[in-house]
Amino acid sequence: MSERTGITVVGSGTAAAAVDQVQINLAVEVTRAQLGEAFTTVAQTVTALLTILADGGVESRSVRTTNLSLGPAWDHNHGQPRLAGYQAGQRLIVRVVGVHGLDRLLGDIATLGAEGVRIDNLSMTPGSPGQALAQARDAAFADAKARAEQLAGLAGRRLGPVQSVQEAPGGGHPDWIPQSTGAFSRQSMPVAAGETDVAVELTVHWSFVD
């Protein structure tokens, strides 16, 4: 087998993508003396949350239960496990298109006044990063070519045709760049809309011209 000759260079590129997809992870969890009371309390709170989401313009198909739990709660602070009551809980994933009205929606959830409501996580991503990915690949290839031409010149050689191109696994990952969206009010939570920089890394191999 002939030895591979030429030059291999890694190039990187980024492009900005608009953030227009939001995922909110909600949880409701309470402990009560009676099993039925814990279950009923969570059911009532989740019903109130669903009403808030619907009033905020979130479609029912964009809300999904991911976990529902019901069982004993144990206290382990006294050496031996002791039954402390019964715990019920439910987790929801909420998907929202766009950030308009998101600040007030989060504020409504936070001021619901129900026990055991948590906002576990909020993530923002581009819904259609294809154009940004294409721009990032253009930039990554141009970066690789510029490096290869410089290195070939230093070696006293000239670049030939491209022999292979490989995109790194996980290419096109977003890097969060926050930007402020507005002022805080008592009924809303400010959210940084920002942009996502989509990043691509390419490994390109050129042969040398004899």
| Residue 77 clears pLDDT 60, i.e. is over it | yes
Top mean pLDDT of 16-25, 81-90, 180-189 is at: 81-90
Print the SS3 string covering 59-112.
CHHHEEEEEEEEEEEEECCCCCCEEEEEEEEEEEEEEEECCCCHHHHHHHHHCC
The overall pTM is greater than 0.85: no
Q: Rounded CA gap, 32 and 68, in Å?
A: 16
Q: Which two tokens stand for residue 65?
A: 């239960």
Chain segment 96-128, per-residue pLDDT in tens: 988 888 888 999 998 888 889 999 999 888 878
**CA 39, CA 69: separation in Å to the nearest integer?**
9
Which pLDDT band holds residue 129 (cuts at 50, 70, 90)? confident
**Ordered domains of the chain (ranges, CATH):** 7-18+128-209 (3.30.110.170), 21-125 (3.30.70.2970)
